[in-house]
Structures are given as C-alpha cells and as structure tokens.
A and B are shown apart, each in its own frame.
Chain A
Amino acid sequence: MKESGMIITTPLGSDKVTHTPTVMCCHCGRHWEFKPGSGRKRGFCMRCNGITCGSNKCDVCVPLEQMLDNMDAGRDPTHRPVIISVPKDVPGDI
C-alpha cells in the first residue's frame, strides 16, 4: 500500500520514536493509520486505482480534485462531469 503520510511520535515512557504510516482516501482526502487486520471496512476505486476510506459517500467515484473543484464552484460535492466514449470521429452535423 502506498503511504501518503507518516505520524511520528514518542510514546510515553519510551525514548524510541515510532513511525506510523497513513494512507489517503482518493475521494475525500481523509488520512488514517494503515492497520491491516483492524476489521475496518475500506474500499477500493477501480477508476482511480486507489483506496477509499469506506464512507458511504466515498463509494461514488468523485476524485479529490473534482471534489475540490465542486467546492469552489458551489456544486453538489458528488457532481462529476459525464464522460462518454466515442469510438470514431463524430460527424460534423451533430
């Protein structure tokens, strides 16, 4: 799992510095400690190829950049432009 950050702390009663990796939700930008086996349900976005935080609102693919653009534009946070696939040249009279 690709780390997106690190929590650095010195536990009480110890002189050893601990480093705990964090990962980031590719949709809302949330960071959390990565703990395999914690039991927390997370998600994975096949479109972004990235991990999501598991929140219901992040089940819909709205990439972080798009979400920030939506905030700037005052749009619904879940807004995403319609993307269509065009297999060949579009006729000029459409």
Chain B
Amino acid sequence: MGRRYSVAGGDNVGSNDATLNMSAGGTRRPAIYDVIVGVEATPSDTALKWQAQRTTVGSQAGSAVTPALLDDADSIANSTAMTAHTVQPTYVTGVILEMAMNSRSTQRWVASPGGGLFISVTAGNGIAMRVQVTAGAALTGVANTMFHFEE
C-alpha cells in the first residue's frame, strides 16, 4: 500500500472557483481515493455543483496546505496543496468527477481499489475541486473540500 495522506481546505463560494487544489510533487504519482465536500456557511437551500478538474503548472496563488499523514510511520507527502485561491490554477478541459447537492447536505465519494483520481507525476500537475451555485437561495460563505490520497 502507498503512503496515505489527508488534505483539506475551503474557499468562498464564487463563480466556479477551486476550493482545494492538489498537485504532484515530481517524485511520486498521487491518487485521490476519498473526497468529502460540504458547506460551513449559514444553511440555505442552494443547489451546488462540484466538479473535479485536472490542473497544470500555472500561476495559481493562495494559501498552501501541508498534507497530514494518515500513518505517522510514513514520510511527509511529496504532493502539495493549495486553498483560498487568489489566482485560480490552470485548468485542463474535461471534468473527471461531478457531484450535485443541496448545500445543507454533505457528500462523499469513495473510490474502489484501483479507481482513484490519478495524477501524473510531473510537479504541478494536479486536480482541483471547483464549486458553483446552480440554483436556489443565495449562498455567502465557505465551501469545504477534503481529499484523502495516496502516493
């Protein structure tokens, strides 16, 4: 089994912005196998669409997040993560995971063995979870994403 890590972040619900972006570090190929999305803002009946999309090396800027070890015996992660983007990552065309939900609920996607969201090993290549309001009440606040990944 590969080394396993957890990373989480959140950002204000905007116009299809990334809540969390995870990128390979150049040494080991990561794969996301667990995704949890939710909203910590004041509850409202708002329809949200979450999309995972590949990203490449770009001019993204925001707050770096250090992946936490799920097994203390492992070494630190080679991958990096960023949240609260001030500059969005560069997206690759094509959605690789999509979920729609009411903002009052929380959704989780879990991969079967071998069915993860694989990222190429090149440093900077990654996957971002984007969120947008599609219908319903206005929503002001932070939407949260958590990845569990192995590399």
Asked if A pairs with B, the answer is yes
Binding site for B on A (CB under 8 A): 2-12, 22, 24, 28-32, 55, 57, 64, 68-69, 71-72
Question: A5, B120: Cβ atoms under 8 Å?
Answer: no
Q: A94 → chain B, closest Cβ, in Å? A: 35
Question: Which residues of B lie under 8 Å from residue A55 when comparing CB positions?
Answer: 94
Question: Which residues of A lie under 8 Å from residue B135 when comparing CB positions?
Answer: none
Question: A29, B117: Cβ atoms under 8 Å?
Answer: yes
Is the contact region of chain B dominated by helix, strand, or loop, or is it mixed?
strand
- A9 interface neighbour in B95, B101, B121, B125, Cβ under 8 Å: B101
Is the contact region of chain A dominated by helix, strand, or loop, or is it mixed?
mixed
Question: Which residues of B lie under 8 Å from residue A29 when comparing CB positions?
Answer: 96, 117-118
Task: Give CA–CA (A77, B50) in the complex, Å.
Answer: 25
Pairs across A and B, CB under 8 Å, 11 listed: A2-B112, A5-B112, A8-B109, A9-B106, A22-B97, A24-B115, A30-B94, A31-B115, A68-B118, A68-B119, A72-B125
Given contacts A5-B111, A68-B29, A72-B120, contact A12 B98 (CB under 8 A): no
Question: Which residues of B lie under 8 Å from residue A30 when comparing CB positions?
Answer: 94-97
Question: B121, A72: Cβ atoms under 8 Å?
Answer: yes
Name which residue of chain A comes closest to B119, CB basis. Answer: A68
Name which residue of chain B comes closest to A74, CB basis. Answer: B122
Q: B127 → chain A, closest Cβ, in Å? A: 10
- B108 interface neighbour in A3, A9, A32, Cβ under 8 Å: A9
Task: Give CA–CA (A8, B108) in the complex, Å.
Answer: 5
With A5-B112, A6-B109, A9-B107 given, name 16 new contacts (CB 8 A): A4-B114, A4-B115, A5-B110, A7-B99, A7-B108, A8-B107, A8-B108, A8-B110, A10-B105, A22-B109, A30-B94, A31-B109, A31-B115, A55-B94, A68-B121, A69-B120
